[in-house]
Chain A
Amino acid sequence: MTLKCIAGIEKPDSGEIAFDGKIFFSSKKKINLPSKERHTGYLFQNYALFPNMTVKENIAAGIRGTKIEKARLAEEKIKIFRLEGLEKKYPCQISGGQQQRVALARIFASEPEILMLDEPFSALDSYLKWTLEQEIAEVLQNFKGPSFFVSHNRDEAYRICNRMAVISNGKIDVLDDKHEIFENPKKLSAAMLTGCKNISAAKKISDFEVFAIDWGMSFKCAKKISENISHIGIRGKYFETCSDLSDENAFEYEICQKIEDAFSVILMIKPKETYPAKLIRCEVCNKKWAEIKNGKKYFKINPQKIFLLEG
């Protein structure tokens, strides 16, 4: 939706969109620049190739200028996107990967200043997805202007982008470097998006200690806890086994459920002799699982690896 507003396909109710000093839309100043004057490139989910045109005609559709110029530029883009031999084919006669290349070639032929990709891989099987993803990454690296990539898949987004924004309920919750978002999320939505499975409502006890309401236990933290804390999060992989309770954040556990995954074991655990509202999900590799079976009854969590989250 945000991308569509930027491209001028959808009209926002209110607000302002500006790029590079040029106002695209402003509800106050009553400006709504038509899409064709915004010079944006938009890759649609279904690529939106024109079914009545050949590959070459599709690419030439976005080029302004004389016929000779059009043909020359189209040829050039066909070479860059490795579409030689397909010039006279229709979109329905080529594969999904080739269709995406045609769509990209068409966008680049129109010389956009912003590039927007709207979930380009959502309708593809995983093998094709991987190939296309690498192609897109390459294309994006060669593109000089800003580009937006919308995705529901965190791994995909992590591999392709540098900076990430987490949007929930139509608002940007977090906008940060991708490493920061994954290693030290500060907001609940960011932690959830990055795949943190253990999240509990939390209450501050002291400056360095927090109580997890859903699990009925308290944790020590490495960082000073702010007043606004609402949740804490712990990644399932960060639990370590230990032999007694002397370590920091160590606790005795009971296994409620064991789920075998392809290369690891997922344990649903709870602190011993308590009945918490939520179970803790803990992922251990097969080697650790052998240790656990041999009687290590305690888990600990490094205070630095606890995410302190605001709602």
Chain B
Amino acid sequence: MDISPLLISLKVSFIAVIIVFFAGIFAAWKVSKISRFKGLADGIFTLPMIMPPTVAGFFLLLIFGKNGFVGRFLSFFNISLVFTFSAAVISSAVAAFPLMYRTSRGTFEQLDRNLIYAARTLGMSEIEIFLKIVLPNSSAGIVAGIILSFARALGEFGSTIMFAGNIPGKTTTVSIAVYSAVQSGDRENAYRWVLIMLVISFLSITLMNYFEKHKMKFIKKPFGGDEKWGFTLILRKTWEIFALKFHLKRKKKHLESSVLQEAEKA
């Protein structure tokens, strides 16, 4: 079985989540602070969640296509985004953005206002307040937002197929692979991809429920010892796992090549 759709899906979602993480939190912070046009800004940022994905894809084509204003600008540098990997990332990011934005805005607004007021009277600047007080105390909600938007990015289909197309090994994600498998009557493959998708979705929901349940503990009580707060710990552990995997992979390659070399010598 060709597992490239899974790899592409994971890669696309991963990059999309990184973009959405910063964009969503930034938008949430700005919107929770403005007083005028709050409803309008909120509406625009939430729109991709309510809009049919095909409509979103159509808009993306309009903007990034040959005659779109971004597309024309990019064509100066000989870059065309339509039907590329980047297009898949953009589609997923657009779909996932509202989830990140809404969950983080929710937690920002739930935060005890007095904490912010206290910080202001203590002479802290707005940026400092955001980085040192708002973000750390909203970590549980932000983690939930990351998981939700990751799941959404992974499942994106409508705008991806319009904007990024279905190019095997390049833009074919799992959800598109399911579609083409069913279209071509390849039931067996479709079942496989559906199963994989189900497992991933289920895992994300479980993970999110775990964070919801342990919210208070998560914020207030650091896991043992000198750990600052859970969020950085999770990030570090994930990094460690990745690093370890990478290390093992390199070691394996190294071993393989040395075995090959020895075989050649022999």
Contact = CB atoms under 8 A, between A and B. Distances in A.
B133 A50 contact: yes
Contacts of B120: 8-9, 34-36
Interface string A5-19: 001110000000000
Interface in B222-264: 222, 228-229
A9 B229 CA distance: 29
Contact of A52 (B114, B121, B137): B137
A285 interface: no
A53 B229 CA distance: 9
Contacts of A52: 133, 136-137, 219, 228-229
A61 B124 CA distance: 8
B117 interface: yes
A92 interface: yes
With a 10 A CB-CB cut-off, give which of B112, B117, B123, B228 has the most chain A CB atoms. Answer: B123
Nearest to B120: A35
Interface residues of B, number: 22
Contacts of A64: 123
A110 B123 contact: yes
A220 interface: no
B117 A48 contact: yes
A264 B22 CA distance: 68
A110 B133 CA distance: 17
Interface string B79-120: 000000000000000000000000000000000101101111
A8 B220 CA distance: 29
Contact of B121 (A9, A51, A90, A92): A9
A62 B124 contact: yes
Interface stretch (A37-45, A73-81, A247-255): A37-45
Given A48-B114, A61-B132, A40 B119 contact: no
Interface in A255-274: none
A35 B114 contact: no
B121 A38 contact: yes
A56 interface: no
A194 interface: no
Contacts of B125: 36
Interface string A55-94: 0000001101000000000000000000000000010100
B122 A106 contact: yes
Nearest to A43: B118
A46 interface: yes
Contacts of A46: 112, 114
A35 B123 CA distance: 7
A48 B98 CA distance: 31
Contact of A7 (B121, B132, B133, B221): B121
B118 A44 contact: yes
B133 A90 contact: no
B9 to A, nearest CB: 34
Interface in A101-117: 106-107, 110, 112
A48 B219 contact: no
Interface in A98-135: 106-107, 110, 112
Contact of B137 (A8, A50, A107): A50
A90 B228 CA distance: 10
A39 to B, nearest CB: 7
Given A48-B117, A52-B133, A62 B220 contact: no
B124 A36 contact: yes
Contacts of B117: 4, 7, 9, 35, 42, 44, 48
B227 to A, nearest CB: 12
Nearest to A57: B132
Contact of B118 (A39, A42, A92): A42
A45 B132 CA distance: 22
B83 to A, nearest CB: 45
B124 A50 contact: no
Interface in B192-240: 219-222, 228-229
A163 B63 CA distance: 67
A40 B115 CA distance: 15
A37 B124 CA distance: 10
A44 B220 contact: no
Nearest to B220: A92
A90 B226 CA distance: 11
A90 B123 contact: no
A110 B118 CA distance: 11
B141 to A, nearest CB: 14
Nearest to B133: A50
A8 B228 CA distance: 32
15 contacts: A9-B120, A34-B120, A35-B121, A36-B124, A42-B117, A48-B112, A48-B114, A50-B132, A50-B133, A61-B124, A62-B124, A64-B123, A90-B222, A92-B220, A110-B123
Interface of B: 112, 114-115, 117-125, 132-133, 136-137, 219-222, 228-229
Interface of A: 4, 7-9, 34-42, 44-46, 48, 50-53, 61-62, 64, 90, 92, 106-107, 110, 112
Given A8-B121, A110-B121, 7 more contacts: A4-B117, A7-B117, A9-B117, A42-B121, A45-B114, A51-B219, A53-B132
Q: Which 5 A-B pairs have the closest CB atoms?
A: A62-B122, A35-B120, A48-B118, A48-B114, A52-B136
